């Protein structure tokens, strides 16, 4: 998320008397933190709350502090989906420093039920007594999933360090090639969930197919959300978010995972270089 574009959008809406957002959700795409200090300051000025989507960024840092400490947000959300940096098999985790939000989330994950006497409306000394204060959900993680997640947490730093080593290999190999790469600011340490390059739109599908035909597991992360059918029904259309739309026509995620060997990564790089050399002739 560009904090400068966000600032312009907020100011334009305020000047026009349009409704301002109640919540802004910055996404730490590919593992790199957004400029959370700037976004938090905009939240204070324009009256919105901030939820960090850090599903790609566990193990990363921003301004020398870990992503997820909620210094500049109300809530940070992580994912433990099987393709993420660490996994519990599925599920995720929400973090907050706000005691009120903690209380509400803790109850909502368990059918809106509390066993904490200080929150109850009817006092009882019965050991079985509980109260349902909200209509909540069943969002509790199983002990088996939690055990897997805890074992993965012990290797988090190792995983992220290896991802950064592999990303640096790509950086050095692709430095002088005509492809765009994600720039990591000096005040962030990316978790490197993905390594994304962007190619000219007229070459995008051709390169994607060539890499796939060489059994190189590339993918597109992501097609623009606002152009999905659900959001089109809400009135979103082409042109609303031009950068997201360009990204969806140019982006290719190269293989990046801790078990990626030098030989396999070199084959990815060689295939990419060969394609670019052929296209430039």
Q: How much is the pLDDT for 279?
A: 87
pLDDT for 225-239, tens place per residue?
Answer: 999 999 999 999 999
Q: How much is the pLDDT for 143?
A: 94
Helix axes 3-15, 36-46, angle to 10 degrees: 10
Average pLDDT by stretches of 10, the chain with 281 residues: 95 97 97 97 98 98 98 98 95 96 94 92 91 94 94 96 98 93 95 97 96 97 96 96 95 97 97 91 74
Beta carbons within 10 angstroms of residue 91's beta carbon: 17
Host H or E run for residue 28? none
Q: How much is the pLDDT for 194?
A: 98
pLDDT for 171-218, tens place per residue?
Answer: 999 998 999 999 999 999 999 999 999 999 999 999 999 999 999 999
Q: How much is the pLDDT for 280?
A: 79
Q: How much is the pLDDT for 281?
A: 74
Instruction: End-to-end CA distance of the chain: give it in Å, rounded.
Output: 36
> Which domains can be identified in the chain, with CATH numbers?
3-91+141-280 (3.90.1150.10)
Q: How much is the pLDDT for 138?
A: 94
Burial class of 160 by CB neighbour count within 10 A (0 to 12, 13 to 18, 19+): buried
Q: Is 219 helix (H, G, I), strand (E, B) or coil?
A: strand
Q: How much is the pLDDT for 60?
A: 98
């Amino acid at each position: 998320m560009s904090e400068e574009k966000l600032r312009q959008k907020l100011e334009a809406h305020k000047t026009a008397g349009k409704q301002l957002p109640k919540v802004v959700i910055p996404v730490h795409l590919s593992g790199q933190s957004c400029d959370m200090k700037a976004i938090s300051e905009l939240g204070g000025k324009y009256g919105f709350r901030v939820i960090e989507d850090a599903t790609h960024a566990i193990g990363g840092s921003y301004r020398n502090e870990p992503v997820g400490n909620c210094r500049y947000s109300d809530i940070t959300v992580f994912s433990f989906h099987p393709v993420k940096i660490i996994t519990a098999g599925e599920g995720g985790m929400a973090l907050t420093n706000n005691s009120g939000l903690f209380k509400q989330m803790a109850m909502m994950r368990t059918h809106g039920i509390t066993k904490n006497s200080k929150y109850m409306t009817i006092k009882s000394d019965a050991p079985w007594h509980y109260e349902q204060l909200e209509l909540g959900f069943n969002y509790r993680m199983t002990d088996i999933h939690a055990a897997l997640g805890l074992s993965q947490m012990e290797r988090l730093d190792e995983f992220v360090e290896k991802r950064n080593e592999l990303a640096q290999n790509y950086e050095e190999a692709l430095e002088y090639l005509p492809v765009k790469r994600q720039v990591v600011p000096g005040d962030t340490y990316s978790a490197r969930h993905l390594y994304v390059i962007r190619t000219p739109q007229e070459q995008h599908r051709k390169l994607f197919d060539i890499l796939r035909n060489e059994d190189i597991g590339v993918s597109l992360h992501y097609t623009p959300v606002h152009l999905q059918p659900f959001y089109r029904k809400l009135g979103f259309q082409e042109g609303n978010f031009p950068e997201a739309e360009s990204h969806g026509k140019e982006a290719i995620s190269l293989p990046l995972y801790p078990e990626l060997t030098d030989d396999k990564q070199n084959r990815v790089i060689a295939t990419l270089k060969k394609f670019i050399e052929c296209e430039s002739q």
